A and B are shown apart, each in its own frame.
Chain A
């Protein structure tokens, strides 16, 4: 049900040309996917998606739109080639899923590699009930550290792009408008 709703939102995203509405729909899309994550037991992920996707990301998009204007012009070329490429890729992916195990079966191979260890041993080794937190911060602490660094690097990148640009414009006498 939620999935169908998501598909409809995705399709609307494709058609609408007013970027303002697109950004709002993207927020709705995020919220729907957060609901879907809750249904599929990923409460931590749902929480993050709701806070990030529907909250901060919408605010950032709106900030960018305020700077850039919100009209998208009609694409000049025919959509046939992209459509063909997309259909081909989609067909290949659907063909790939034919070999995949069914949704939600406990015997799927993905559940029997390290997940068993996390679920059975982590309370003795770490001592906290939320397995997601203990895997995130302890077993995979290196991952999380690298990821924190990536987020920091992204902030540095944004700072270089936006702060440096402002300074350069001032140096040129604040002209270049329009």
Chain B
């Protein structure tokens, strides 16, 4: 597929928009359907598209396997870390009201909390999907 010019140019044009769309889905998840899960999957799909068209090595130069593996772990740390931060601020685990900049409006903290937690989900799901894709695609097959 690497010689097909339409596919190559098409993938090149589409990929940035897919990545943009993933970020939109994540940050707009409060108001419209979407959130960390969908954004992570779409982001991984963008890189999977590039890898299918341009070859795995090219994508792995941009996004090395150790990086996506780190992402998978980092996301869980972000999620759990938000909980620890709210505990340090004197609230219950994962009680986002603690994050409000203005204590008279505790519900504002929910915005930050949800956005951070969803960011953790995004990073983990992206890391996991990309790792799994790398492992399947990078394996030397012995298909008949």
Q: Do A and B have CB atoms closer than 8 angstroms in the complex?
A: yes
Residues of A within 8 A of B (CB): 43-44, 46-48, 51-52, 55-56, 59-60, 63-64, 66-69, 71, 124-130, 132-134, 136-138, 141-142, 144-145, 148-149, 151-152, 154-155, 158-159, 162-163, 166, 177-178
Among A56, A124, A148, A151, max chain B CB count under 10 A is at: A148
Residues of B with C-beta under 8 A to A47: 25, 33-34, 38
Q: Does B104 contact A (CB under 8 A)?
A: no
Report yes or no: A68 in contact with B143, Cβ–Cβ below 8 A: yes
Report yes or no: B128 in contact with A152, Cβ–Cβ below 8 A: yes
- Count contacts on B: residues with CB < 8 A to the other chain: 52
Report yes or no: B143 in contact with A130, Cβ–Cβ below 8 A: no
**Total of A-B residue pairs, C-beta within 8 Å:** 141
A158 to chain B, nearest CB (A): 5
Residues of B within 8 A of A (CB): 25, 29-35, 37-38, 41-42, 44-45, 48, 52, 69, 72-73, 75-76, 79-80, 83, 94, 96, 107-108, 110-111, 113-114, 117-118, 120-121, 124-125, 127-129, 131-133, 135-137, 139, 141-144
Q: Among the listed A56, A69, A152, which residue makes an inter-chain contact with B76, where contact means beta carbons less than 8 Å apart?
A: A152
Residues of B with C-beta under 8 A to A141: 83, 94, 117
Q: A48-B38, A59-B52, A130-B30 are in contact. List 12 more A-B contacts (CB 8 A).
A: A44-B33, A47-B33, A47-B38, A51-B38, A55-B45, A68-B143, A133-B118, A138-B114, A145-B76, A148-B120, A149-B76, A152-B128
